Amino acid sequence: MRRIQVAGLDRVPHDRPVILVANHQNAMMDPVLCCCFFPPQLHWLTRADVFKNPTVKNLLTNFNMLPVYRERDRVGDMQARNQEIFEIIYQRLQHNAIICLFPEGTHRGKKQLMPLKKGVVRMATGAIEAGVQNAIVLPVGIDYEDYYNYRKDVLIVVGEPIPLALYEASLQSDSARTQNVLLQDIRSAMRKVMVDIDHDHEYDVLIGLRPLINEIAGGDLLHQFNFYHTLLEQLAAQSPSAAAIQTKGKHYLELLHAIAGDDALHPESQQHQTLPVLLALPVAAIGALFFLPLYALIERIQKKLVKDPLFINSIRIVGWTFLTPLYLLIAAGLLSIGPLAWWQSILAVVGLALAGRLSLWWNHRFRALRYAWHLSKMKRTQPDTFGRYAAARKDIIDLVQGIAEQFPHIKTKGH
């Protein structure tokens, strides 16, 4: 990842039972990120089919993962098995554990919240009935810049907790209605901490415009998220701006892709970075060449193993995490066989590792710089085409800033 920001981490309690619910859009990356950045130990509900292998089952159990059975698992006693797991969950909640799950029940590489499964409210209301005190449901949103490629931004947003005590009285008088109300409250809370574009016909334009909208907003990842989220809420209200941004946005994106191709995904103008990029080239090239065999191996592994594209980065992160230390040790060993002493070999490998890190920065900056060069050349050689692109871009900026003026708490970069 290039940048990872966690907002609202202070809302994660250490001294009360928590049912953590998160959107699920990037396979194994979602729980890995939560485990990396949330200080308390997390207990995950995981689909039961991955527990079939005894060795895997023991490994997952040692990581505090619990199986949950779904209809697709086709087990005759599904409800009984899940009830056994729920009893274990209630025991852990009594000791202030954080139980984590993805209530959508599956993952999907799209910024939309799918219908929530009722298992989350059955578990939550079951905790009330089991006598778990002071429990909360904690919504978490995970927002990826890109699901498939290296060096992209990730924002994790922890939302306002939902105290289960609010539903205790009504649960006794009307259990079914209370569960439906809680399910809708959880869905509403999750939508506040994630990007949820309801309508498919608007999706491509609103996603395509996001890099430019982020540029207009400026600031850190959280500010950009809040700005974009507020903009989506305004457009969802079917304001006159909604139709305008669809029409003008589609026109702008067509021009953008026509003049920039794949580089349209990286519309950062970094022409002032030319000198640092050129100066860093020799060291970045050495780092890239050093890690090229490991990169090729990991890419070969993920292409051979991955059937679901959303697992690409999950396999990559596992590969780089476990193979990099081994790769560096082998490199140090090979260097020490030659004229270098062992300590010189270690220093050399550390230097190569740092050069590899620099190569990641260099690649990102070079792509942005190449895009800026391309636009500069087009401005000289194809002024009419560039003029249409610039005018379409300005239309979007003016339109977005006009919408933003209605929300003084959300400032743009220029204000």
Q: Parse the chain into domains and list their residue ranges.
A: 4-192, 201-415
Average the pLDDT over 216-229 and give the result.
Answer: 91
More confident of the two residues 324 and 376: 324
Q: Which region among 76-80, 93-97, 165-169, 297-301 has the lowest average model confidence (pLDDT)?
A: 76-80
Average the pLDDT over 373-389 and give the result.
Answer: 87
Residue 388 CA to residue 303 CA, distance in Å, equals 40
- Torsion angle of the four alpha carbons 265, 269, 271, 274, in this order, in degrees rounded to the nearest 10: -40
pTM for the full predicted model: 0.86
Domain 4-192 has CATH 3.40.50.1970: no
What is the reported pLDDT for 281?
Answer: 95
Q: Are 206 and 197 in contact (CB under 8 A)?
A: yes
Q: Is the pLDDT of residue 299 over 70?
A: yes
Which band of pLDDT confidence, cut at 50, 70 and 90, is reported for residue 412? Answer: low
What is the reported pLDDT for 158?
Answer: 96
Centre a 10 Å sphere on the Cβ of residue 115 and count the other Cβ atoms it contains: 10
Q: Mean pLDDT of all residues in the chain?
A: 86
Which band of pLDDT confidence, cut at 50, 70 and 90, is reported for residue 67? Answer: confident
- Ranges 6-10, 46-50, 405-409, most confident: 6-10
**Amino acid present at 200:** D
Main-chain dihedrals φ then ψ at residue 333, nearest 5 degrees: -65, -45
In 41-174, which residue ranges form alpha helices assigned H by DSSP?
54-62, 78-94, 119-129, 168-173
More confident of the two residues 47 and 211: 211
Tokens of 347: 């220093």
Q: Are 393 and 292 in contact (CB under 8 A)?
A: no
What is the reported pLDDT for 103?
Answer: 92
- Look up residue 159 and give its DSSP letter: -
Percent share of the chain, pLDDT over 90:
45
What is the reported pLDDT for 408?
Answer: 64
Is residue 268 classed as helix, strand or coil in its secondary structure?
coil
Q: Distances from the Cα of 319 to the Cαs of 41, 151, 313, 322, in angstroms?
A: 24, 16, 10, 6
What is the reported pLDDT for 323?
Answer: 94
- Ranges 10-24, 250-264, 397-411, most confident: 10-24
Tokens of 394: 């300005």
Tokens of 303: 């292409």
Q: Are 369 and 225 in contact (CB under 8 A)?
A: no
Asked whether the CA dihedral 60, 62, 64, 67 is positive or negative, the reply is positive
What is the reported pLDDT for 263?
Answer: 54
Q: Are 49 and 73 in contact (CB under 8 A)?
A: yes
Percent helix, percent strand, percent coil in the chain, to nearest 5:
65, 10, 25
Residues 6+ apart with CB under 8 A from 16: 96, 134, 135, 136
What is the reported pLDDT for 370?
Answer: 82
**Amino acid present at 92:** R
Is residue 336 classed as helix, strand or coil in its secondary structure?
helix
Summarize pLDDT for 223-257 with one digit per residue, the tens.
Answer: 999 999 988 888 877 667 778 888 999 999 998 88
**For the range 349-353, what are the long-range contacts, defined as Cβ-Cβ under 8 Å and sequence gap of 24 or more?**
352/286, 352/287, 352/290, 353/287, 353/328
